[in-house]
Amino acid sequence: DGGITQSPKYLFRKEGQNVTLSCEQNLNHDAMYWYRQDPGQGLRLIYYSQIVNDFQKGDIAEGYSVSREKKESFPLTVTSAQKNPTAFYLCASTLGQKNTEAFFGQGTRLTVV
Amino acid sequence: GQSLEQPSEVTAVEGAIVQINCTYQTSGFYGLSWYQQHDGGAPTFLSYNALDGLEETGRFSSFLSRSDSYGYLLLQELQMKDSASYFCAVSWRSSGGYQKVTFGTGTKLQVIP
């Protein structure tokens, strides 16, 4: 079955450490996105990528980095520069330009301990 | 920039009809989408409106007025399982020519017996 997979589901990080969240899709979608969701809040865009080897900063990119070396994969690294990383992270994909039905992964809940 | 407004909470009775409104401000508008998210889960796509008018999908309908920068989601024959958060999201074209999606902060719907 086609879909979008995030791993791990839960992640604990010590302060000062970098951590990478995985996002893989087999939907053959061109565009992929990373969102952050805080309790009772909407989704805020961190980074997005329309095509392989190209990505753009979203609204809250500071302290995060991404890569898009393959169409299927869009990993997100939360760096030590991110001051408040504890949140629910959601990865999504869409077919392409103007196609707005986004498919989401099940999310990764990151907690800094 | 982009902004969306929707009510933070709505309560409705099982079997009734509820309307969740969304007003937005954006340039380069493509369309308005609606997503449902149960607690701890991933958002799932409900509907998309690019043109003015009403789109119906089973018990759910979505309306858009581009001239008023306004849309709503209509849920009929409410069921207990409809208790969730509902997000409107606007798709728009950035100055760099990229498609972006900005989400509202969500409306928490509670369905009561």
Q: Which of A7, A43, A109 to probe the B interface (max B CBs under 10 A)?
A: A43
Give the residue from A73, A31, A25 showing the smallest Cα distance to A49.
A31
Q: What is the pLDDT of residue A99?
A: 57
* Cβ under 8 Å to A: B residues 29-88: 30-31, 33, 35, 41-45, 48, 87
Note whether A52 contacts B: Cβ–Cβ < 8 A: no
Question: What's the confidence (pLDDT) of residue A98?
Answer: 59
pLDDT of residue B92: 87
pLDDT tens track, chain A, 113 positions: 679 999 999 999 998 899 999 999 999 999 999 999 998 778 999 999 989 999 999 989 999 999 999 999 999 999 988 889 999 999 999 887 555 688 999 999 999 98
* Pairwise CA distance, residues A102 & B36, whole Å: 12
Q: Within a 10 A sphere around the Cβ of B78, how many other Cβ atoms?
A: 19
pLDDT (average), residues B23-44: 93
**What is residue B96's predicted lDDT score, i.e. its pLDDT?**
79
Give the strand pairing for B84-93 and B99-103. Answer: antiparallel
Confidence class of residue B70 from pLDDT cuts 50, 70 and 90?
Answer: very high
